Chain A
């Protein structure tokens, strides 16, 4: 627990000893409440959005990527329909995307993986450079930019980046993939105030109730009993 939870895969991955006793087969919708699934599949598609910083080429790339990572199925609408590209655009235009609170002085040495990110690029610049490299690699490998690949090819291409097998000229494709996955998941699961998680699709999918999150009077009653709310609430619902 370490006081703070992190996605398990981020923590010390690679050194783990898996002790799966009986990894049960996926039973799909077993944990999904019926109303969540219904709401998700009935949700209307997102309207086109004006963009702040991403270019049409970048939008096409992000759309193809987030829809491959978060495909539409019984559990949720697609990444784009959940607003992930809008989220990414706004994040890259934000102070964070511009490198606020980031130490940016040189010299820039490559370092070891243990020493962390050492590129001079801000998050926005990183994705601009990464998409250029990913499309160049896709062109070389498939004769098409990433967004024009078939769904199967996109999955194959993302897997190649995830495993570091896609040769980027700028930096390791694995690093690009990790950051792409991270920002996509942030867009899927964060409060809708940032433009992602449209219609609270991911919260409905999980059964996450959102705000106000005051549970002192509920701990006893819901200890091993499902706590269900009619409608998850977000920051905007209280504003």
Chain B
């Protein structure tokens, strides 16, 4: 039934951005690597080209690049006393599939976490006292510091050709950049994008309030750039089609554009698409994973791929689900607080606002995520939380443009949604919209987690992953606080009309909010508080490494991709320098 294949040095599950990066690095170290990708190959020269790429219905509305829910999905419930039901078509978040994974269609917001984010439990305890952190807030320090990760953040920046403006270069604060960020060893690889008209209006208002606006860092260069693997990237075209879509200009960073052109030519790498990994073959005594089972989704045939090193590089749900299916680690139980696989699931806390201006020409169709401005004065521990009743924070991002017409037609509150009045209002405000968004932190809670669903199955007959999640009082207070800062900024701009939209108390999987899911295979300092160690090596299987945001203990108030990329490079560096010569635990339990 199952065909056993010849052993290779390394097998990687998921050829998204991190999977492709890891494959490239491992082949550079001389290893033979097989990449198992359950989706199709993605061929930018044929698919991501004019004119077909500018198809809002296909890519943005019908979600061409997203994972196929008929093959695999997630079940959801707000609380553990409810029955979870399947997400039948994606809504709140949009995992991708195929070579390049979610990086093909991300928005390109490229961030580092604050130095204090990595030791958040210690910092809060030190600043606000030993009893400040609520009992059900299960945050913990990361087992790695900002300073340790900095060289790898820098390397990842130079893979992606990130555009932006440093605000802290080797400890020197620079006006015009983000003065709250940790020290950078180098400037951004590419200059910031030109700011949109709306972004400049926001920057002026933010400055008048004493905040520190700067251009949004963006994982696409503003001028052609050759990355660390010798791949030449194009410059951003401000096309307005970025979110949910790939890049016709070869500018927005993805596994497909930034790594695959050189990885495809690597003789030591073998890409297997439509290869749906189902289970890790776990040797409990030896504490090793000996092989990976997968199904060829073209033929239905099952295969076993033995390997010396196994790298799990799927989305948050895939990584957690794979450990649970394979019997690696103890599933988390919210009643007892015991078990670690599935623990500390977090979902980014975003909340928007819109301001409407008459007689403006804000060219709503032009633009890119990098033409927005951000102020970051209220993130993490960059501000004092005494008396606020919450911990955490986030950044405020705003601008105009980058919205094709099916999705990008804001009208003021109380406007009818159809008929002649709606049409007139749509036309009237089309050129006058400035959008705001708050990118809020999520400080893990005991009640929010992932486990296997008791009822619903995927197309291979495996239980689906089940998420149990609701926003916490802490995070709602944090978000409401950020929105007061947004509202102050909007008022300073004196719009004709505006609307601030707080998050509803009950989390819903229906409208799109954010694809920033984290946790489930969290990293930590001991096997007692984590699934993987500081090198993302599983405590229970020394040849298993887990990459991606599933290893985050909680979610700071920034987009996760910058940090998951840095962690991947940090880990593979250790694999190459230590593990290959001396396979075994890299951190003693």
Interface residues of A (CB under 8 A from B): 1-12, 14-24, 26-32, 68-71, 73, 75-76, 96, 99-105, 107, 109, 111-118, 155, 158, 162, 181, 184-186, 189-191, 193-194, 202-203, 205-216, 218-220, 222-227, 234-235, 237-239
Contacts and interface: CB of A to CB of B under 8 A. Distances in A.
Given A68-B418, A191-B55, A101 B69 contact: yes
B224 to A, nearest CB: 11
The residue in B54, B200, B412, B503 that gathers the most chain A C-beta atoms within 10 A of its C-beta is B54
Contact of B407 (A5, A100, A116): A5
A213 B365 contact: yes
Contacts of A225: 361
B73 to A, nearest CB: 4
B54 A6 contact: no
B106 interface: yes
A21 B402 contact: no
A224 B497 contact: no
Contacts of B514: 2
A3 B109 contact: yes
Q: Chain B binding site: helix, strand, loop or mixed by DSSP?
A: loop
Q: Which of A6, A9, A100, A115 has the most CB of B within 10 A?
A: A115
A96 B56 CA distance: 15
Contact of A216 (B196, B238, B421): B238
Given A117-B89, A206-B405, A235 B54 contact: yes
Which of A1, A8, A117 counts the most chain B CB atoms within 10 A? A1
A102 B69 contact: yes
A144 to B, nearest CB: 21
11 contacts: A5-B435, A12-B504, A15-B503, A20-B412, A20-B498, A26-B421, A68-B418, A101-B66, A104-B70, A191-B57, A215-B240
Contacts of B511: 6, 10-12
Contact of A21 (B61, B235, B496, B513): B496
Contacts of B358: 24
B457 A186 contact: no
A215 B89 contact: no
Interface in B358-401: 358, 360-363, 365-367, 369, 371-372, 397-399
B87 A116 contact: yes
A73 B423 contact: yes
B54 A212 contact: yes
Contacts of A226: 361, 363, 431
Contact of A104 (B88, B398, B413, B437): B88
A23 B350 contact: no
Interface in B405-438: 405-414, 417-421, 423-431, 435-437
Given A19-B498, A96-B62, A70 B513 contact: no
Contacts of B431: 31, 207, 226
A103 B76 CA distance: 13
A220 B361 contact: no
A151 to B, nearest CB: 10
A224 B409 contact: no
Interface in B47-65: 50-52, 54-57, 60-63
A17 B502 contact: yes
A197 B481 CA distance: 42
Contacts of A208: 365, 404-405
B107 interface: yes
A124 B494 CA distance: 46
Interface of B: 50-52, 54-57, 60-63, 66, 68-70, 73, 76-78, 82-89, 91, 106-109, 194, 196-197, 200, 235-244, 249, 350-352, 354, 358, 360-363, 365-367, 369, 371-372, 397-399, 402-414, 417-421, 423-431, 435-437, 455-457, 487, 490, 494-514
Given A5-B408, A216-B237, A116 B91 contact: yes
A67 to B, nearest CB: 11
A237 B369 CA distance: 27
B354 to A, nearest CB: 6
Nearest to A183: B61
A65 to B, nearest CB: 10
Nearest to A95: B62
B51 A238 contact: yes
Contacts of B84: 115
Nearest to B371: A219
A186 B60 CA distance: 11
Most interface-central of B50, B85, B410 (chain A CB within 10 A)? B85
A223 B195 CA distance: 9
A116 B504 CA distance: 15
A22 B496 contact: yes
A1 B397 contact: yes
Contact of B363 (A2, A155, A190, A222): A222
Nearest to A72: B420
A116 B50 contact: no
Given A4-B243, A107-B455, A18 B419 contact: no
Contacts of B55: 191, 193, 235
B577 to A, nearest CB: 35
Contact of B419 (A7, A68, A224, A227): A68
A214 B194 contact: no
A135 B520 CA distance: 48
A2 B85 contact: no
Given A1-B399, A113-B508, A118-B85, A206 B196 contact: no
